[in-house]
Amino acid sequence: MEINSYKLKSCIFGIFYLGIFSGNLIIAILLFINIAQEPFYSILLILQIYTPLTISLGPIFYRYIFRRSHLILDLEKSREFLIHVFDIDVENPGEYLEGKPKANYLRINLENIGKKLAKNCSIKMFIYYDNFKLIREPSNLYPAGYHHFKKKNKIPPLIDIAAGDSQIFDICSIANRKNDSKFIQFEDYVSLTQKTAKSQELPLETYCIELFVYSDNNPPINKQYKIFVDDSILKPDWSKINIKEYKCRT
C-alpha cells in the first residue's frame, strides 16, 4: 500500500511537471509561427514568461521524484522472515526445553524504496499495556545483527540504508526456558539506572507498541502495533506470540 502510494505520488508530480513543460513548448511554437491573434497572442506571451521558471525547476522536480530516499515500515511483505524462531547460544542449555535453547523473535523491517541513501535511521519505541498505559520510558530499537551493542548496554547505532535496501530491527523475543517461558523481553535500549526498567522481562500478554522512525533526510513515520498471544497457532505458549498493525489510539 505504501509502495503504491509512493509510486502514485511520483507519477503525479512527474505528469504535472511534464504537462507544464509541454504546455510551454506548445506556446513557444504557436508564438514562433505567429498563428495566435489578439487577444490570445498577449496571453500566450505572458504564459511564455514562465518557461525559464519551469526549466529552472526541472532539477528540483527530478531530485524530488527520482532521486530521493523514501522509508516505509514493512511487516506483512516480509512476515515469514520477521517472525522467526532462532537457535540461541546460552551458558546452561539444560534450563531450556529438551536442552535446545531457542527464542521466538518479533521484528520489523525498515525499507528504503526510494532512489537515494537514507541517512542515520533509527526507530524509537513506546510500550503500553492494552489499556494504553505507558510501561516505561520510550527507547530505541536495536538493529538485527548488533547484539554486541545490546550486551554492553550501549545505545543502538544509527543506520544508513541504501536505495532498495532494508534493515531489520528487533522488537521482542521469548525463549523456550522451562521455568519462565511465559515472559517476553522487549529488545529495546533500556538504561539500567531507570527504576521502571529494573527488569526488562514482562509477562506474556497483550501489549501495544508505537514506533517512530527518524532519519536525517526523511520525514518521521509513526505506526502502531499490537503484540498478543495468538491461540490459533497450535504450538507451545512461547511460540504463540504474534504481531499485527493495530490502531491502539487515535
Give the range with max mean pLDDT: 35-39, 40-44, 194-198.
40-44
Q: Which of 66, 93, 109 is the last residue of a domain?
A: 66
Average pLDDT of the segment spanning 90-110: 90
Considering the domain architecture, whether residues 200 and 112 belong to the same structural domain is answered as: yes
Domain co-membership, 61 together with 119? no
Same domain, 96 and 52: no
Percent of the chain with pLDDT over 90: 42
Instruction: Tell me, yes or no, whether 25 and 81 share the same domain.
Output: no
pLDDT in tens, 13-22: 666 666 666 6
| 34, 90: one domain | no
The answer as to whether 188 is a domain residue is yes
- How many domains is the chain built from? 2
Give the range of the structural domain holding residue 26, as residue numbers without chain letter. Answer: 2-66
Under the banding of pLDDT at 50, 70 and 90, the label for residue 131 is confident
The secondary structure of the chain as a DSSP string is -HHHHHHHHHHHHHHHHHHHHHHHHHHHHHHHHT---TTHHHHHHHHHTTHHHHHHHHHHHHHHHHS---EEEESSTTHHHHEEEEE---S-GGGBGGG--EEEEEEEEEEE-SSSPEEEEEEEEEEEETT--B-S--EEBPBTT-HHHHHTTPPPPPEEE-TT-EEEEEEEEEE-BSS-TTEEEE-B---TT-GGGS--EEESS-EEEEEEEEETTEEEEEEEEEEEE-TTS-S-GGG-EEEEE-----
What integer best gives the mean pLDDT of the chain? 81
